[in-house]
Chain A
Amino acid sequence: MPFLLYVGVFLLYPTLVVVAGAFVDSEGVPTLDNVRTAATGPYLDAFVRSLQLSALTAVIGAVLGALLAWAVVTGRPDGALRRVVTSAAGVLAQFGGVTLAFAFLATVGFEGLVTVWLRDRGLDIFAGGAWIFELSGLALVYTYFQVPLMVIVFLPALDGLKPQWREAARSLGGTSWTYWRRVAGPVLAPAFLGSTLLLFANAFSAYATAAALVSQGAPIAPLQIRALQTSEVIIGQQNLGRALGLGMVLVVTGVMLLYALLQRRTTRWLR
């Protein structure tokens, strides 16, 4: 079966290289040093910042994305608005990376549209430093692809809300607020949480935006891996990169498992 062979070579083998590499030194002798180093000092800091960045943008993205999805779904199901928004969301959520970094450089970079416009009015948005190239800049650009992803994954859940439920709630004397609080809210909650987790994993795995935006230093874990991967200085650092990679895989796996659990709950009501 060529498929299994292919996946074995190009997916399972690399995974194995990462997992096994994390636990050996450059001579191939088993050691815990890589893992220990990866869990200390600048590597740990980067990891924590990665988690914070992912959590922040996941929550912002989830809230804004859910609102946008709601605004779209209350329109006509086959209307132009919905079609354009879902297609645009698909592009912005998946296409990603470098392109979006440049989009924001054109907007709020040193010579960006908004920067120049505000500067002409005496406002310097970089008075506090070159934030666009730092963590807050990353958070801004990440939000730009997190919201569309939320729209994509949350729309089906909103579509699953049956108009009959709202009518039932109303005929029993409930207000719009009661409906959202007692019916739609609880039904949507697992989907919302699950989508938020997906967004978290998405931000945590993202690399291209950060790579294009941050050329110096390595504030987040993927950039630490880049630094280790591209530097030719010390041999044995390779396995440190693998240990960091293993850490990332573990985080994403944990998040995705939770997501799968919530997904199972979601489908109970929304199908």
Chain B
Amino acid sequence: MSVRLFRYGILLVLGTFFLLPLFAMLEFSTRGGLEGGRDLSAWRAIGDDPQLVDAILTSLQLAVLTSVLMLVLLLPTMVWVHLRVPVLRRLVEFLCLLPLVIPAIVLVVGIAPLYSWVTYFLGDSSLTLTFVYVVLVLPYAFRALESGLSAMDLRTLSEAARSLGAGWGTVLLRVVLPGVRGAVLSAALLTVALVLGEFTLASLLNFPNLQVAVNLIGKRDAALSIAVSLAALLLAFGLLLALSIVGGRRRTSREVEPLAPTPAPATDGVRA
């Protein structure tokens, strides 16, 4: 009984700690002007600020571009390594996890000279951030795809497809991709969430994305920045919640299948 009380206590205290700032954002962004009261002017202003709209569009485009480039680059490589050159598996894993030990602020320092070349060749567009964002999401995307790939019988399926005359492109697009749909989706959603929240690289490479704009606007109009921040948080939360519901459904459907015997829950009665 006291354990239960303790549990509710924790949920209450930490729940308050986490919800209070979110509620405060809602409160702050709906404050009326000098006369007090509530209004939605800060929320309405989101669409009226061209700088902000541009930044939002930039971030959304970056999210899509990064997801696509990440998949195009990573998925064939990982399939190829799984099937053909397992020797390289360790190397690819190492490279993919390497960004975890290189803080973004340090990556900026190293990549700034490179970006003067990138902008020289490709023009001074914020969308060039895609290149470094792919590096940033590598560890997360790798883990998601790796769990998807090892959950399917890649070798048998691809050999079956090959023996029926399929080329590698067909194998990749019509056998592997449908098989790792869930993993691809979760890798892409993680990428989207990460890109929408990214500040460090954009800010120090001088490309205005969503977070850079929010930070800048915050200096003159805090309510507007707070409104956008809350909207972005809720959007990311929605994305991840959708992911957990999709993922949860997949997991429960897979739990029915395993052939390995599960220990009989004979002692379950004791717990009650």
Binding site for B on A (CB under 8 A): 1-4, 6-7, 9-18, 21, 64, 67-68, 70-71, 74, 78, 83-84, 86-88, 90-92, 94-100, 102-107, 109, 111-114, 144, 147-148, 163-164, 166-167, 170-171, 176, 201, 204-208, 211-212, 222, 225-226, 229-230, 241-242, 245-246, 248-249, 252-253, 256
Contact = CB atoms under 8 A, between A and B. Distances in A.
B74 interface: yes
A99 B20 contact: no
Nearest to B212: A98
Interface string B228-272: 011011001100110111001000100000000001000110110
Given A6-B73, A113-B24, A207-B104, A90 B240 contact: yes
Interface stretch (B7-15, B161-169, B174-182): B7-15
B60 interface: no
Given A6-B73, A148-B18, A230-B204, 16 more contacts: A10-B135, A11-B95, A14-B111, A68-B10, A86-B244, A88-B237, A102-B25, A102-B214, A102-B218, A104-B21, A106-B29, A113-B28, A207-B104, A225-B108, A249-B106, A253-B101
B245 A248 contact: no
B10 A105 contact: no
A1 B100 contact: no
A86 B18 CA distance: 13
A256 B229 contact: no
A83 B184 CA distance: 20
Contacts of A252: 100-103
Interface residues of B, number: 78
Main secondary structure of the interface of A (DSSP, over half): helix
Contact of A14 (B24, B28, B110): B110
Contacts of B24: 103, 106-107, 112-114
30 contacts: A2-B77, A4-B95, A7-B95, A10-B111, A10-B114, A10-B134, A10-B135, A11-B98, A13-B114, A17-B110, A71-B11, A74-B7, A84-B241, A88-B18, A90-B193, A91-B240, A94-B193, A102-B218, A103-B25, A107-B21, A114-B24, A204-B103, A205-B103, A229-B108, A245-B103, A245-B105, A245-B109, A248-B106, A249-B101, A249-B106
B197 interface: yes
B188 to A, nearest CB: 14
B267 A167 contact: yes
Across the A-B interface, the 5 shortest Cβ-Cβ residue pairs:
A14-B110, A205-B103, A245-B106, A106-B28, A113-B24
Q: Indicate the member of A3, A109, A248 with the most B CB atoms within 10 Å.
A: A3
Interface in B97-149: 98-114, 131-132, 134-135, 138
Nearest to A164: B267
Contacts of A106: 21, 24-25, 27-29, 222, 226
